[in-house]
């Protein structure tokens, strides 16, 4: 795995974790969380300053 791909995936996962943290206390009536991080989307090509990098994006 290339360094650019690893870095891109880490950034995307960090951003997803921040979003989950923002909504961690939001619950529906039966106390379940409204926002969950379950898997990754199929691999996509992300355009970066280094060029196009394939990466898995959290969903």
Give the span between the Cα atoms of 12 and 33, in whole angstroms: 21
Residue in the block written with tokens 């960090």: 14
From first to last of the 59 residues of the chain, give the pLDDT tens digit: 688 878 888 888 888 888 878 877 888 888 887 766 667 777 888 887 878 878 777 76
What does the pLDDT read at residue 59? 67
Q: Return the bridge partners of 47, or none.
A: 52
5, 53 in Cβ contact below 8 A? Answer: yes
Give the start-to-end residue ranges of the domains of the chain.
Answer: 3-55
Listed residue (39, 38, 36, 48) closest to 11, CA to CA: 48
What does the pLDDT read at residue 36? 65
Give the span between the Cα atoms of 4 and 51, in whole angstroms: 9
What does the pLDDT read at residue 17? 83
Give the span between the Cα atoms of 29 and 46, in whole angstroms: 37
């Amino acid at each position: 795995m290339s360094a650019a791909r690893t870095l891109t995936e880490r950034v995307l996962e960090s951003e997803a974790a921040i979003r989950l943290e923002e909504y961690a206390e939001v619950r529906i009536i039966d106390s379940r969380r409204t926002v969950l991080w379950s898997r990754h989307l199929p691999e996509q090509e992300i355009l970066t300053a280094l060029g196009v990098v394939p990466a898995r994006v959290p969903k």
